[in-house]
A and B are shown apart, each in its own frame.
Chain A
Amino acid sequence: MTQDMLLTMVSGVPWTIALTAVALLIGVVLGIPLCAMRMSKLVVLRMVANTLILTLRAIPPIVWLFFIFFGLDTGFVSLNPFQAAAIGLGLITAANMAEIYRGAMSAIHSGQSEASMALGLSTYHRFFDVLGPQLFRVALPSAASYAIGLLKDSAIASTIGVHEIAFQASHVSQRTFRGLDVYAVAGLLYILLSLPIAWASRWADLHLRARVAR
């Protein structure tokens, strides 16, 4: 393996990180309203959310990316590969985050909500001061393992031409007719990227988990 090959592969790292980070951000944020809809008292909202979540999770990510990149592109919007991949993976992440939040919600004792209401806290403060921080703590481990999964899934963005690690690996291996070491290096890069996520999550879990009411 030459230094040139290695550098090419490493040049995919920022793209992998950026794609994972943007998709995660979209998912973490959009997951909140989606979860709220899913748990709404209004049947219509619940049905819309259920349908969205089911659709987003049931169709394979690669089909979503093709649909968004090739499908939407023929019409009025024009997306570059990175945008298409970020949107696709972001929406799928939102559906999964909504389910993670919902699970976390049921782990928090109903007395927390009641105590907040009895104190006269508004819905906004009940969520952002009382339930939200506890949800964050409960959801963190599942969210972190989802993030590691997302990091790996971001490799499918290579199929629509995002220059991330898997894309560079296949590029290099086609150019040099070497497979074993090239893909081993790619694997190593993914491992290196996922380690900090796992460490951070374990650390946060240890330090925060005691402070949740179940």
Chain B
Amino acid sequence: MSLNSSSIPQADVASRPPLLRLDAIGKTFGTHVVLEDIDLSLAAGEVVAIIGPSGSGKSTLLRCINQLEPPTTGRVTIGDTTIEAGHTPTRRELMALRRNIGMVFQSFNLFPHLTVLRNVSLAQERVMGRTREQADAVSMQLLARVGLADKAQQFPSRCSGGQQQRIAIARALALDPQIMLFDEPTSALDPELGLEVLAVMRELAEGGMTMIVVTHEMRFAENVSDRVIIMADGRIVEQGPSGTVMRNPQTERAQRFLHAVKDR
């Protein structure tokens, strides 16, 4: 596997209709402005890395996309579901949105009282209406795909951090999402365990999954993603093809950030 292969050629990506669109997303907590005027559109199969200093609003942006945090202004569109800030979305709209968006957290957030298999099967049964047999069959396939079929009957506490994160990825994939959001999926892991998670993510990207990855892994941003977005102070300060942005940033703010993290 070549480290420099981008999953999909850039021209190909740009010509497709967007799968996800953010228009003028803003978020304030009280008087604290955390996101300001974020526009973003994502084509099917595109892999976008979001990098930026701590507190720049990366996590908040991801959480606004699936409405874990309702944006203060703007609009999120995925497929034919549009959620407008200020209007409380109906339960049906929220379900449609969240079914189509898988999310992987820094702290895994597996359900500790359920076996690995039940972790992956639960939402398939409750949200998609699959029977237990159907769900378990799908879960076993996904667990095999992340290399953990043998852990199916264990409880999460018996798995390493890297294994838990791969299970969390399988759990999110189980709903057949169109888009996967990753919020620093390897930050809580030892470098070695992080690698096994990154390998799974790279495979997903190569398989054509549309992904937004908030990460501190500069090599992943440069080598796996098609596009890199640099955020600072709640805004997008620079974005473009990963090679260009990472090696040749144009704005002063982006240069400063990349200089600060270049050794990672």
* A binding-site residues for B, Cβ under 8 Å: 109, 111-112, 114-115, 117-122, 125, 129-130, 133-134, 137, 208, 210-213
Contact = CB atoms under 8 A, between A and B. Distances in A.
Interface in B138-163: 155, 157
B220 interface: no
Given A117-B68, A119-B123, A111 B113 contact: no
B165 interface: no
Contacts of B157: 210-211
14 contacts: A111-B109, A112-B109, A117-B98, A118-B101, A118-B102, A120-B95, A121-B123, A122-B95, A129-B122, A134-B112, A210-B157, A211-B155, A212-B112, A213-B111
**Which among A109, A117, A213 has the greatest number of chain B C-beta atoms within 10 A?**
A213
Interface of B: 66, 68, 91, 94-95, 98-99, 101-103, 105, 107-113, 122-123, 126-127, 155, 157, 168, 171-172, 175
B123 A114 contact: no
Contact of B105 (A111, A120, A134): A111
Contact of A118 (B98, B107, B126): B98
Nearest to B128: A120
A133 B91 CA distance: 24
Give the 5 A-B CB pairs with smallest separation, nearest first: A115-B109, A111-B109, A120-B98, A119-B123, A118-B103
B107 A111 contact: yes
Given A134-B112, A211-B157, A213-B109, A118 B68 contact: yes
A67 B136 CA distance: 55
A111 B175 CA distance: 19
Majority secondary structure, A binding face: helix
A143 B91 CA distance: 34
A130 B101 CA distance: 20
A120 B155 contact: no
Contact of A120 (B107, B113, B123): B123
Contacts of B101: 118
B113 A212 contact: yes
Contact of A119 (B107, B108, B127): B127
Contacts of A133: 113
Contacts of B126: 121-122, 125, 129
A65 B133 CA distance: 52
B127 A115 contact: no
A135 to B, nearest CB: 10
Contacts of A121: 122-123, 126-127
A212 to B, nearest CB: 6
A114 B68 contact: yes
A133 B99 CA distance: 24
A134 to B, nearest CB: 6
Contacts of B98: 117-120
Contact of B111 (A112, A117, A137, A208): A112
B99 A130 contact: no
B109 A114 contact: yes
Nearest to B127: A120
A104 to B, nearest CB: 13
